Amino acid sequence: MISLLTVLSLIINFLIAYNLNKIAYISNIFDEPDNKLKKHKSRVPLLGGIILTINFCLFIFLLFSKLL
């Protein structure tokens, strides 16, 4: 059961990460380089933490809904 939940979470995580740039462009959530502290040369989407949080919450929700 846990392996199925893990695979499901990975698939959802991949789908969200694959569309990350599209979501970032729609919501205009980027980190702009300022050539002082930031090393990147172009705009970087700031949605990586949201993907991990959604994936973790989904995994916990599915795990506990199956156990109850």
Sign of torsion, CA 33 35 36 39?
A: positive
Top pLDDT among 42 and 6 is at 42
E-strand ranges in 1-68 read 30-31, 44-45
Tell me the per-residue pLDDT of 16-62, one tens digit each, with 9 for 90 and over: 778 877 888 898 888 888 878 888 888 888 887 887 787 788 778 87
Residue 68, CA distances (Å) to 11, 42, 55, 59, 65 in order: 24, 47, 20, 14, 5
Q: Which residues of 34-47 are buried (b: 16+ CB within 10 A; e: fewer)?
A: eeeeeeeeeeebeb
What was the pLDDT predicted at 1?
Answer: 60
